[in-house]
Structure formats: C-alpha cells, structure tokens
Amino acid sequence: MTQLEPILAGPTPAPDAEIPAYVRELERAARYLPESQRDTLLDAWRVGAAAHAGQTRKSGEPYITHPVAAATVLAEQGVDVETLIAAILHDTIEDTALTRDDIAARFGDTVAELVEGVTKLDKLEFQSRQEAAAESFRKMMLAMARDLRVILIKLADRLHNMRTLGAQSAEARTRIARETLEIYAPIAQRLGMNLIKAELQDLGFRAMYPRRHAILAKRIRSQPMVRREALANIEARLAQRLTKENLQFRLVSRVKSPWSIYTKMRAEGKSFDQVMDVFGFRLIVPSVPECYHALGVAHSVFKPFDGRFRDFIAIPKANGYQSLHTVLFGPYGSPIEVQIRTEEMDLIAERGIAAHWSYKHGGGAPNSAQNRAQSWVANLIESQRSTGSSLEFLENVKIDLFPDEVYLFTPKGDILALPRNATALDFAYAVHTDVGNRAVAARVDKKLVGLRTRLTSGQNVEIITAKSASPKPQWLEFVVTSKARTAIRHQLKQLEHEDAVQLGHRMLDRALEDLGTSLDRLPQTRLESYLADHRYPRLEAMLADIALGNRMPTQVAQVLAHRVPDKPGIGDTGFDVRRGEKILITGAERGVVTFAQCCMPIPGDDIMGYHTAGRGIVVHRNGCANIAEYRKSPERWVAIGWDREVSGDFGVALRVDVDNRPGVLAQVAAAIAQADSNIDAVEYLDRDKNIAVIRFGIEVGDRTHLADVIRRVRRLSVVHGVQRM
C-alpha cells in the first residue's frame, strides 16, 4: 500500500506531455463537464494507474487502459462525473491494494459504493462456471437496486471487453459472446440504451459466428444501386411534402445491422433479399403535436398498412421508449417502416437511462427511462428473494428481458406493461404479490373471466381476491411472467412445508403416545442430540421429513423414547407398532397427502394411509384392491380418517350406461353440472348399436354430494345405470 500513499495524499497535476492519448480521448468525450470535474477525472486516472501499476491486459497493454476506455464509453453517453470516476476505478478493490475506504476518503462515499457495486464476484468455490456466472449476475442486480449507475459501468466494461476480444482464446471468445448476446445486450435494450445494445449485439455476433457476420456485412455494404436510388426517391418525396406543411424535421434512413438481419432470417425463415426488401426511416420533429402532424403527412404520401400503426408516445414501452411506428406501402412494392419522434425521445431511444441522469435533482418525469428501469430492477429484486438458486434467478431474468408487450389499465387508470400472452393472473402478480396469491377471478372490461384468460393491449383489468384463496400448482402451467412464476413457487413451497411440519408433528406425537410419552415431555437435550446426529438444522425440518415419508415416525419415536439404539436410514423398524388414535385430514394438506388414483377416495369413505418415501401419505379406500400389496409393509400403514371440516374438490369416476344416440352425452353432462359438479374427463368404455358405456371423471365435495350427482343422472330417461368406479 505504501506506493499508493503519495498518490492518495492529494492531486498532483502532471504536465500535459505526460498525459497519454487514451486519457486525452476521455477528456474530449467529457467536455460537457465543468473544468474542475475534468481535473478530478485526471486525478482518478492517476490513482487508478498507480494502483494497477505493473498489471497488463492479455493484449500486452497497461491494464489501466481498459477502465479508462470504459469511462470514455460512458462519457460519450453524457453521464455524471461520479459514474466516470467509478468506471476508472471499478477494478481496483478486487485487483489492487486500493481499499473502499481509500476511495471514499479521496472521491467520496458515492463513488466508493459504485466501485464496490461493480466489483466482480469474490473468489468463491462453485460447482460450475455457469453457477459462478449466475451468482455474479445476481450480485450485480442487487447492486443495481441500490444505484442504477452500477449497470451503466458494467455495460461499458463489457462493451470495451467485446471491442478487444481478439486477445482471448477461441473458447473464451465464444463464451463471452454468448453471455453478451443472452444477458448484457438485452439488459441494455431493457434500459433503453440502444446504441450500446446495437454494438454489443454486433460484436457478439461477430465473435460467435465470424463467417456469417462477414458474409452479411459484405452484402449490406454492396447493396445494389437500385436500392440506393429507391431510398433517395422515398426520402425526397417525404421531405417535399413535410416542407410544404411547414414542418421542421430531420429525416434519416435506417440501415439494418447484421445481427438484426440474421435474427429475422432465422425467426421468420426469410432469405437475405426478403429481409432487406424493407425501407426504414426515422423522422424527428420538434414537438409531440408535430409527431402526429408528420404522421398524417406520411400517410398522405404513401398508404399505410392496415393494423401496423403503434402509438408508443401515448403508451410508452416499459423502458421509457416513445415513438410513433407506422408501415407504408412503398412505390416499389416494398414496405416502408417509419418511426416518428421528438429530439428528446430520440435521445432517450439512443441512450436510455443515461439520457435521463438526474440523481442530484430527484429523478425525471414519471414515465422517464430511469424511473421505469428502477421499477423493473425493484421487481427483479423482489422475485430474487423468493428464488431457490442463482441459476433459476438468471433464467427468470432471461424470460423477463424485454419481451413483446401488451399495455393494460388498472381500475385507477394506471398503465401496466406485461409480456405478450400474459394472463389475468400475471396481471394480478404485477399489481402486487399478495394480490396474486389471493386472486380468484378477474373482470376484464367489466366482464367476469377466469385467471387463465389471456389479455390484449388496451383492456381494463380488475382482480377479484379472497382471503381464503392461495396459489395452486396448476397456475404454473399458464403464467408467463417470471415474477408470477417465482411468487407461486415460493408460496407453494411455503404452504407445503407448513402442512408437512403440522402433519409430521401429529404423526410423531401419535407414535410417541403409543410409547407412553410425547414430544413435549422429551428431554430437550435428547431431542437436540437426535437433530444434530441427523443433521437437521431445527425440529421443523425433521417433522417435514417424517410427513414426506423420508423417515418413519415409529422408528424416530423408538429412538427418542430410548427404546432402541439409533439406526440410520428408513425402512422396516422390526417392531410391532400398536395402532393408536387416527390422524384426521382435511384434504387441504398440500404436497404431503395425495389421493390414490386406483380407488379415488372422497370424504365419507373408510380410508387408510400408506407412508411413501418422498410423497408423504397416499390415501386409499379400505376396499381398494391394491391394499393386499401394502399388507407386506405394515410399518408403513397410517391410521387416518376425515376431519369434521373437509375442504376442496375430490376426483371420482362414474360409469354410466346410456342409450347410444345423439345428444345423450350432453344430457348427462347437464345433469352433472346441475348438481354443482365439474367434469374432468369423458371416455367411451364400450358402445354398440343400442347401448353406450361412458366413464365420467368428476369432482365432488363428499359422499353426500356424489349421491346427489348419481340421483340426478339416474332420473334421465336415457340412462340405464350409474355406478361409482
């Protein structure tokens, strides 16, 4: 640390001749800053250069050239001086003797926090490179939640690494390029930073598929003269009409990048000529009213495609992007894509959150890119708290990175952006996790609909909740947002664990009662010793294991009551277990009590339980044909019965013999529905000229409900017989 002390003591201006060209480039890019702040930048370079002294990149250049180049990328985006200083010092805490306190003392706490946020993953042991990368990404997201400028520095760092990727091995180039295309470019797009996104995509494409990139780039450069003439013709006609309307404007043609052409060719199965056969223009005008005026002018010059107009000014994209999009019939039979926006919108479209930097003044407008990005990151952080692993979190973020969107209205008139194909349940979780967990139905444009209903842009959505409601495993089959999926999984795990702990407690208590003791009467030291020996962090974990069938309650009870020495594992205890009082179930025990499909028990049936490893208790009817097999393992039998209050719907199968003629199936289905029962499945078991035998899978509450269903079906004149299967 001693070699840094003179540098850290205070600024020591260097003669102009000693300032290298790469630092001069940073100075030129940061010309928008006051002179005093540019002097502080030079000071940061001196501290960084001293800290990284003797370190080189794989290319052989001094290491300090990399962080200064990252800072130059950010200076071109016009960010504040603290972000630039942090970019220059972003690798010092990890790779040099410089500490966070040193940076805070010299440049302030904000810069120190930014540097700490960007600092790469500590040298931890991971099972795989993939797991390490996912955990590093998770850390970065947490740092972003504290200050969004962290991601600006990380993106600039990645962009310069991509620009200098040639020094890496072929394997490293492919790995870094894939990570860039899958994670960093989409994040830049999600934050509205299109200039950085476009360059990351182009460099990533070139590194992963150098031959494909070279072929496409060459074909784009060598576009035929006919196309260039067509572009000029269209541009001239649009400009002439806009001038006649006294509109001030800037009209530029847009050239597609190799990456956008490649992805479109693959996604839509089109040839290069088909993809290039679309002309693109960007029209920039002074104000919002003039955007709509210019739209009318464009539609008067060339006819618009029906249904291809999008108004992102009235309803901005989730990353703050605003523009009018329209597609016109061109004079050469080719579509013309036109984007119309103001100068400010253009700046936001190119720079995203960097264009709206306003930490010092309390944030921009409510619809600014920065505020929307902050909201997006906050949602990610909320979901990561409930995610099981870094890899799962990373997959969720990939799903969430800037999909096609629908824009929906809450009852209060607020706008929510959700991915295409989002359901009413996704909307509920977007409003709040608690709203999603308690959702039972929705009103879309004042019409009552189910939670799996897919939503379209412009709809007004209201969620109906109930205190007693809770997530169901089937919900995971139709939600599309990562927030909804993560929240549902988390809640289901929590409910299953609570149910498992309660059931395990009852099962162990029953086994201990048979031995003349109880959990409460056991010496605490004995219980703690048993938990420690079997590596249970707490009692709840062992109780859940018992309920799930991974440990036999009779065996645990014998050991805890000191009747036998402890034995590892599960299986036949070798003891004649006295059957005590029944364990009563409500039917709502999630994940630890399942109902056998062979006999389909319902409340009111005489039942028995079979303790199955990993599945908990499987409930059978006492008359089930499979019980004979289970008699071979009596230690796994569980004496169970129905609680007084049983909730939920239970599956049961009916065999119905009917006349084989048109309309009969509908009559039987109607009778079942009139008895307030749902039909899960219908299957013809047998049919001849006169009689058909149909199996109906239905849901009932108990035996009384089933009897009502059978009675109603029997009354039908077309029915010859009904019986439970």
3-state secondary structure 465-501: ECCCCCCCHHHHHCCCCHHHHHHHHHHHHHHHHHHHH
CA distances from 416 to 290, 408, 672 (A): 27, 5, 40
Q: Give every CB contact of residue 532 below 8 A, 6+ residues apart in sequence.
A: none
Catalytic residue check, 95: yes
Q: How far apart are CA 249 and CA 342, in angstroms?
A: 9
Catalytic residue among 25, 27, 61, 94: 94
Q: How far apart are CA 18 and CA 283, in angstroms?
A: 45
Tokens at 667, concatenated: 């009559």
Catalytic residue check, 94: yes
Residues 282 and 254 sit within 8 Å (Cβ to Cβ): yes
β-pairing verdict for 583-585 and 593-595: unpaired
β-pairing verdict for 415-419 and 405-409: antiparallel
CA distances from 66 to 3, 8, 71 (A): 22, 21, 9
Closest CA to 327 of 277, 289, 290, 375: 277
Q: What is the rounded (10 degree) CA torsion for 368, 374, 377, 383?
A: -110
**What residue spans of 52-91 are helical by DSSP H?**
65-75, 81-88
- Please report, as a single letter, which amino acid is at residue 247: L
- What number of other Cβ atoms are within 10 A of residue 683's Cβ? 10
The alpha carbons of the chain give a radius of gyration, in whole angstroms, of 34
Residues 312 and 322 sit within 8 Å (Cβ to Cβ): yes
Residues 323 and 339 sit within 8 Å (Cβ to Cβ): yes
Query: 26-39: string of b/e by CB count within 10 Å (b at 16+)?
Result: bbebbeebeeeebe
Q: How far apart are CA 34 and CA 31, in angstroms?
A: 8
Catalytic residue among 95, 179, 344, 395: 95
Closest CA to 651 of 671, 672, 673, 678: 678
DSSP state letter for 17:
G
Cα-based angle 131, 133, 136 (whole degrees, multiple of 5): 110
Tokens at 591, concatenated: 């994940």
Q: How far apart are CA 672 and CA 483, in angstroms?
A: 38
- Hey, which residues are catalytic here? 94-95
